[in-house]
Amino acid sequence: MGDQWMLPRTIRISSEDLRLVPLHANWRHEAQPDGKTALLLPRPRFGHALLNLKRWRCPGPVKSVALRSWNAADPMDLAPLFVESFGQLEPLAGLMDSERLAAAKEALFDGWEGKEGPVSRASVVAMEENGQAVGGVLITLLPGGNLDGPGAWRWLEPPPLGLEAMGMGLPHLTWIFVAEKRQHCGVGAALLSHAIHTLGQAGYSQLATTFLTGNHASALWHWRMGFELMSWPNSPRLRQS
């Protein structure tokens, strides 16, 4: 999701109370000269993690759900479900309702239209018996290569055609989301399990993911599912090695 959705904010708080506010990984706060307000400034940071598909074992129950492929209407139709899943987390948490929906549509359209890389056939939508969508997983293909370098995580040139058929590129868990009423019931595990099985059949052995530092719910879910944290690409230690 684009950094443009993390907007500076002004809050009413005294300089004395501001000192008691815990620091956040993605925000810094500055007391204003009036001593009664503070400015919150975004400083988004992202982490990467990898999942070994050959060693993966689902850590919890998997719900039996019907799955279908994504279609062109899904970025628009699934946006409310996306907001329901991520609305209490940054960057959506700080937005107005209309802004949240706009940000969700942009995120899903960018993924579906290939701005994050070619869409893998491992991408599916979970459906209930009544035909209602309750979750989705969107897998895209990144350049891969040297994962300690920024060039592995974004296409600088148009990707080659037939990338997945050749087993090339690095699968990336761009989005996975589940309706609030179906969370913690195994729907997310079912979506991830299907994606892993499909990617394995295509010859892939790794699945990458990206998360916003400070999003503890996301970090814990990835850890529980077996993802292993990677080094920060801009780490001075890596630049010296």
The pLDDT value recorded for residue 64 is 86
- Rounded (5°) CA angle 144-145-150: 75
Query: Rounded distance, CA 176 to CA 165, Å?
Result: 23
Q: What is the pLDDT of residues 191-205, one digit of tens each?
A: 999 999 999 999 999
Query: Rounded distance, CA 9 to CA 24, Å?
Result: 14
The pLDDT value recorded for residue 233 is 55
Structure tokens at 220: 């814990």
Residue ranges of the chain whose pLDDT lies below 70: 1-3, 232-241
The pLDDT value recorded for residue 239 is 52
The pLDDT value recorded for residue 23 is 81
Query: Rounded distance, CA 13 to CA 21, Å?
Result: 10
The pLDDT value recorded for residue 36 is 94
Spell out the residues 6+ positions from residue 203 whose beta carbon is closer than 8 angstroms to its own.
167
Mean pLDDT (the chain, rounded): 89
Q: pTM, whole model, 2 decimals?
A: 0.87
Topology of domain 46-240 in CATH is: Aminopeptidase (3.40.630)
